[in-house]
Amino acid sequence: MSGKTPQKAEQSPLSGSKTSGDPFRLSTDELRLLILPVILISEGLLMLCLMTGFDSSLSAQQRTFNIVLGVLGSIYSLVFYFWIIPVIPYFKSLRWLLPILNGAAVSTTVLLGPVYIQEFALLVLITFTLGTAILFGRLPGYAFVCTSTLLLSIFSGHLNQLGGLTVWGWILSVPILGIIIIETVSRMVNIINHHLRRMRTLNEVASSLSSSIEISEVFEMMSTAIQSALQADTYYIGMKQKDEIRLELLYDGGEFFPPVNVPIQDSLSGYVVRKNRSILLQHVAADAKNIGVHMKTVGKARLSQSWMGAPMEHDGDAFGVVAVASYSDNAFTQRDLELLENIAQQASMAIDNARHHSQVEEQSRLDSLTGTLNHYTFLSELGGLLQAARSLRQPVSIIMLDIDHFKQYNDQFGHLVGDRVLTSLAQSILSNIKSTDLVGRWGGEEFIIALPNAQGFQANAVAHRLRNSLRAIQVLDRTGQPVAPPTISQGISVFPEETQEMYALIDLADKRLYQAKENGRDQVAAPPHIHAHVENAQQQQPMH
């Protein structure tokens, strides 16, 4: 994937846009609106020509010619306006054929038509040159000028000396004026198309980002937008993380690189985030030194010569940066920076929406009080965990636990203290298991833990470690006085050793939990062979 936008071949307003997929840039009504003045002028001249067909001072041959010219020319003009313009985009050959035919027709009219048409010859030619350049583009416009100039030169004997210029003097004016008109129109069209592409890019970015709910999708869409709208050798998207900027997406010189961190205090990206404003550097080495930043390379070991960056912000605080760079000096303009700022602004809203969606989605998975997985989510996660363990032939251990005499906390100290006991237990569980383990609130004061790739004796060790850790937690009542720390009863079951069915596995752990309660609470009830394993291990320990 190239970071540079390829140079596009010149296209007329009617030509297809590869980036947008539209059949042509302007609608038929818009084209007719642009060409209407040319049509009106030509129709006016042709009507005058028709009227001279009834001038008795002219020869019968001249009158006939003028009438035929006026009628046929008016018909062609109207047919061209109403029926030919709509089909031009679909027949590429018409882009060349019509300018040549029109050039021949206009030249013939000037050469053989009434004298007054020769008096307005330059106006006629300029008008049709302008219309051809608007409709067909630069090269077909030159085809019209060349055809007209060639015929006028060959049959210059039919022309009069006009405006104080010799015939050849104003014939030479035709290509000169044609060049001026065509180049002016072409540059205007290119500028308009350039702005249209940027507007289209921004609209596509806004439309795409508004529907994105994943930050990774936002980055991917931003990458596509930058590549299509800016000519950049390097670009990256960075997110603020404490005292660093993490470049989540980094592209340089034709390839993507893994994420990397850069300091926020001494980097161009950090400068944009700290100052919360965009910057454009046309000569990076000198300009960076002026703002107190020492240049560093990311991606390839090659310094950029032009650089610009725009902050991504929310509620007035910058949380990230979008930057593009080039290995050439003066590669970007202020308009490029404005486009980058627009992309960054759209991305800021999309990332904020994605974060909000992620938070809502995460909250829907968790128990609102303890922050552990809720009942439904735990079952869903456990199902996937057991399926993976089955294919990998790995064990999974389940620990079901319950707070002993939990009702007494609510009755004696109130439900607020009871909630504190639950949250303290949840934090203790999370601090004693791995990040890959699952813990969920099964209901009330009952919790469930899944330990992937853990044998029963390992689960037993975790259960005892958790049981011992509760002795150190501190829960305060409403007066600020400490209450007795809770104790827990626990039951363990092992997959696939004891059962391969999820609900049977949970039910077995639950039965052992109640067995631990019946044995006096603050106990761990594990499969019989685990107790034997523990006893053997204790017997083999050396005496001190």
User: What is the SS3 string spanning 457-505?
Assistant: HHHHHHHHHHHHHHHHCCEECCCCCEECCCCEEEEEEEECCCCCCHHHH
**Strand pairing class (255-257; 244-252):** antiparallel
Q: Assess contact for 384 and 350: CB atoms under 8 A.
A: no
Task: State how far the Cα of 242 lies from the Cα of 239, in Å rounded to an integer.
Answer: 10
User: What's the one-letter identity of residue 261?
Assistant: N
Residues pairing with 311 in the sheet = 321
Q: Assess contact for 38 and 206: CB atoms under 8 A.
A: no
Tell me, yes or no, if 445 is annotated catalytic.
Answer: yes
Candidates 534, 535, 448; CA nearest to 493 is: 448
> Measured at the alpha carbon of residue 340, what is the angle toward residues 338 and 346, in degrees to the nearest 5?
105
Neighbours of 125 (CB within 10 A): 26
Task: State how far the Cα of 427 lies from the Cα of 345, in Å rounded to an integer.
Answer: 39
Q: Assess contact for 495 and 453: CB atoms under 8 A.
A: no
Task: State how far the Cα of 426 lies from the Cα of 420, in Å rounded to an integer.
Answer: 10
Angle (deg, nearest 10), helices 167-210 and 121-136: 30
Active-site option among 244, 313, 445, 446? 445
- Token pair belonging to 121: 């010859």
What number of residues does the chain have? 544
Task: State how far the Cα of 488 lies from the Cα of 516, in Å rounded to an integer.
Answer: 9
Residues 6+ apart with CB under 8 A from 78: 43
Residues annotated as part of the active site: 445
